[in-house]
Structure 1
Amino acid sequence: MGQFVQFAINGLMAGAIYALIAVGIVSVYKATKVVNFAHGYLIMFGAYFYFTFAVIVPGQPWAPTWLASWQPAWMIEMKGDLPMFSPVAAVLDWVANLPRILLGLAGALVCNAILGRIIERVLMRPLMGQSIFAMIMVTVGLISILSGAAQLIWTADAASVPYIAPNMPIRFELFGTMIFLFGTDLVNMFVALLLFGGIVAFVKFTKGGIAIRATAEDQSTAYSMGISVPKVFSRAWVLASTTGAIAGAILATRNGISPSLGLFGFSVLAIVLMGGLDSYVGVLIAAMVVGVLEAMTQWKMGGGWAEIVPYVTVLVVLVWRPHGLMGQKEVERI
């Protein structure tokens, strides 16, 4: 029973990150009816931007020394009296990296927002009023462009980045089994769920969110009501890019950074299809279900089988509900 709880918690933590990634795909689809196949590569760029501002910039000769590692005398003295794997030591190590972590997150948010704005303005807006299929194919082409650009700019070598939260070990006994977690994974889960809830609240309760919903229902009517549809499109892409930056930073601390990080988006796209392309709640449920199923599959059958869980699950759900768990059924009138 204790092992079941261990893997269930691991699955929920992974599911929260899936949900944060998925919210960008849903936001773009709700505003534009375009399925963004390149969202995983926007996340990859967010991870690389975090690496740039948290690792490369602080390591430059012109950067102040405290940016790379802030260690005042009191911190060094305190760390000298602590055992190696002390939770306090883990917190102090995180505090020492805090300046470059904050710089990395700020740089990733700004740069990814600019990247999303450029994609929308240069590639997507000229296709407004054209076939949705053409816009989708542009996102497919973006996969090769972003993947190649990342390898040219940062090379294909995998790299590590500082954790965005203290990575202290957490141990407790449950049902006679020792449960082992890391503090950074728990913080990542809470950050992902908080951002997910904030975006859902934004779409539901703010004027900008209402404009996105109105545009999703009918672009012509939205125009006639004075809503700037191009601005809505731009807002949706920037929203997806900024959430992708946070998700990229979290994934970078878990899996390291390499161009293959962009492939993560395809698993999440399967989760979005399972939950419903236009349903935030459905996507959250699907993300949590897939996260737990992956963890249980890894426990019982190994990591190789866990990789196919999102695809098998979405196939089963789509046969039963073609529009996803909570997706809106479209009615064609002749």
Structure 2
Amino acid sequence: MGQIAQYAINGLMSGAIYALIAVGIVSVYKATKVVNFAHGYLIMFGAYFYYTFAVIFPGMDWAPAWLASWQPGWMTEMREGLTMFSPMGAVLDWAANLPRIVFGLAGALVCNAILGRIIERVLMRPLMGQSVFAMIMVTVGLISILSGGAQLIWTADADFVPTIAPNTPLRFEMFGTMIFLFGADLVNMVIALLMFGGIVLWVRYTKGGIAIRATAEDQSTAYSMGISVPKVFSRAWVLASTTGAIAGAILATRNGISPSLGLFGFSVLAIVLMGGLDSYVGVFIAAMSVGVLEAMTQWKMGGDWAEIVPYVTVLVVLIWRPHGLFGQKEVERI
């Protein structure tokens, strides 16, 4: 029972990250009816922007010394006498990197938001009023552009970035078994859940969110009610890009950074299809379910089998409910 709890918790932590990634895909779809196949590569760019501002820039000659490593006197005194791998040592290591972590997150948010705005303005807005299929194919072509651009700018070499939170090991007993977790993974889960919940509340209760919902229902009616549909499209893409920046930074701290991060988006796209392209609640339930199923599959059958879990699960669900668990069924009248 204790092992089940261990892997279930691991799965829930992964599911929270899936949900944060999926919220960008759902937001763009709700506003534009476009499935963004390139969302995984927006996440990859967010990870690389975090790497640039948290690792590359602090190592430059012009960067102040405190940006690369913040070491005040009191922190040096606290390190004295600490044993190797002590929890306090992990917290102090994180604190020494705190300035560049904050600088990296801020830079990633701003740069990814600008990237999302450019994509919407240059590639998507000229296609307004055209076939949705044409807009979807633009996102497919964008995969190659972003993937190739990342390798040209940063090269394809893998690298590592500082964790967003202290990576202290946590141990506690449950059902007679010791459960082992890392503090950074728990904090990442909390960040992902808070951002997901905040976006859902924003879409539900704010004017900007209501404009997105109104545009999703009927663009012509939204225009007649004074809603600027192009601004709604832009807002949705910027929202997806900024959440993608945070998700990319989290994934980079967990898995390292490389162009292969972009492929992560395809797994999450399967989760979105499973939950329903236009349902935040459905996507959240699907993300958590797939996260737990992946963890259990990895426990019993190995990591190779866990990789196909999202695709097998979505196939089973779509056979039963073609519009997803909570997706809105579209009725075509002839």
Mapped to 1, the partners of 2:45 and 2:2 lie a distance apart of: 38
Please give the per-residue CA displacement for 1:243-262, whole angstroms capped at 9, x wherever unaligned: 00000000000000000100
SS at match of 1:171: strand
If the length of structure 1 is used for normalisation, what is the TM-score?
Answer: 1.00
1:96 aligns with 2:96: yes
Please give the per-residue CA displacement for 1:268-325, whole angstroms capped at 9, x wherever unaligned: 0000000000000000000000000000000000000000000000000000000000
1:254 aligns with 2:237: no
Query: Hey, what does 1:310 align to over in structure 2?
Result: 310
The residue identity in structure 1 corresponding to 2:69 is: S
Moved more, 71-80 or 226-235: 71-80
Mapped to 2, the partners of 1:99 and 1:175 lie a distance apart of: 40
Mapped to 2, the partners of 1:25 and 1:302 lie a distance apart of: 29
| 1:230 CA displacement | 0.1
SS at match of 1:178: strand
1:325 aligns with 2:312: no
1:210 aligns with 2:220: no
1:199 aligns with 2:199: yes
1:178 aligns with 2:178: yes
Mapped to 2, the partners of 1:46 and 1:159 lie a distance apart of: 14
1:237 aligns with 2:237: yes
The residue identity in structure 1 corresponding to 2:271 is: I
Query: Hey, what does 1:150 align to over in structure 2?
Result: 150
**Structure 1, unaligned stretches of length 5 or more?**
none
| 1:173 CA displacement | 1.7
| 1:176 CA displacement | 2.3
**Structure 2, unaligned stretches of length 5 or more?**
none
RMSD, aligned α-carbons: 0.5
Query: Hey, what does 1:299 align to over in structure 2?
Result: 299
Query: Hey, what does 2:127 align to over in structure 1?
Result: 127
Mapped to 1, the partners of 2:81 and 2:281 lie a distance apart of: 48
The residue identity in structure 2 corresponding to 1:178 is: M
Mapped to 1, the partners of 2:83 and 2:315 lie a distance apart of: 50
1:67 aligns with 2:67: yes
Query: Hey, what does 1:79 align to over in structure 2?
Result: 79
Query: Hey, what does 2:108 align to over in structure 1?
Result: 108
Identity of aligned residues (%): 88
Mapped to 1, the partners of 2:19 and 2:149 lie a distance apart of: 27
Query: Hey, what does 1:9 align to over in structure 2?
Result: 9
SS at match of 2:266: helix
| 1:175 CA displacement | 2.1
Query: Hey, what does 2:118 align to over in structure 1?
Result: 118
- Which portions of structure 1, spanning 4 or more consecutive aligned residues, are displaced by more than 3 angstroms? none
| 1:204 CA displacement | 0.4
Query: Hey, what does 1:224 align to over in structure 2?
Result: 224
Aligned residues: 334
Mapped to 2, the partners of 1:189 and 1:38 lie a distance apart of: 24
1:25 aligns with 2:16: no
SS at match of 1:331: coil
SS at match of 2:71: coil
Query: Hey, what does 1:290 align to over in structure 2?
Result: 290
Mapped to 1, the partners of 2:74 and 2:132 lie a distance apart of: 60
SS at match of 2:59: coil
The residue identity in structure 2 corresponding to 1:237 is: W
Mapped to 2, the partners of 1:332 and 1:174 lie a distance apart of: 52
Mapped to 2, the partners of 1:81 and 1:20 lie a distance apart of: 40
| 1:179 CA displacement | 0.7
Mapped to 2, the partners of 1:64 and 1:57 lie a distance apart of: 10
SS at match of 1:268: helix
| 1:76 CA displacement | 1.0
SS at match of 1:58: helix
The residue identity in structure 1 corresponding to 2:101 is: I
Mapped to 1, the partners of 2:69 and 2:235 lie a distance apart of: 36
Mapped to 2, the partners of 1:119 and 1:185 lie a distance apart of: 31
